[in-house]
Amino acid sequence: MNNYGESNGDSNVHEKQVEGHDHCENGDGSDNRVILGIDGGTTSTVCVCIPLFSSSKSLPNPTPILGRAVSGCSNHNSVGEIFPSHVKLYVQNDAVAALASGTMGKLHGCVLIAGTGCISYGFAEDGREARASGAGPVLGDWGSGYGIAAKALTAVIRAHDGRGPQTMLTNKILKALSLSSPDELIGWTYADPSWARIAALVPEVVSCAEACDQVATKILVDAVQDLALSVKAVVQRLHLCGEDGNGSFPVVMVGGVLEANRTWDIGKEVMKCIQEQFPGAHPIRPQVEPAVGAALLAWNFLMKESTGNSHS
Count Cβ neighbours within 10 Å for each residue of 138-147 and write b for 16 or more, e otherwise: eeebbbbbbb
Lowest mean pLDDT among 19-33, 56-70, 173-187, 191-205: 19-33
Is residue 269 over pLDDT 90?
yes
User: Residue 256: is its pLDDT beyond 70?
Assistant: yes
Give the CATH superfamily of 109-279: ATPase, nucleotide binding domain (3.30.420.40)
Domain ranges of the chain: 11-92+289-311, 109-279
CA atoms of 311 and 175, how far apart (whole Å): 66
pTM score: 0.81
Burial class (CB in 10 A: 0-12, 13-18, 19+), 105: buried
Highest mean pLDDT (candidates 66-75, 77-86, 227-236, 252-261)? 227-236
pLDDT recorded at residue 182: 98
Per-residue model confidence as pLDDT tens digits over 142-163:
999 999 999 999 999 999 999 9
Question: Tens digit of pLDDT for each residue in 205-251?
Answer: 999 999 999 999 999 999 999 999 999 999 999 999 998 889 999 99
Instruction: Say if residue 28's pLDDT is above 80.
Output: no
Query: Which helix or strand (DSSP H or E) is residue 191 part of?
Result: helix 183-191
Q: How many residues in the chain?
A: 312
**Cα-Cα end-to-end distance for the chain:** 21
* Count of alpha carbons within 13 angstroms of residue 75, beta-carbon side: 4
DSSP conformation letters of 246-287 = ---EEEEEESGGG-S-SSS-HHHHHHHHHHHH-TTEEEE--S
Report the SS3 class of residue 11: strand
Instruction: Yes or no: say if 98 and 6 are a contact pair by the CB < 8 Å rule.
Output: no
Exposure pattern of 2-21 as b/e (b: 16+ CB <10 Å)? bbbbbbeebbbbbbbbeeee
Distance CA 257, CA 198 (A): 13
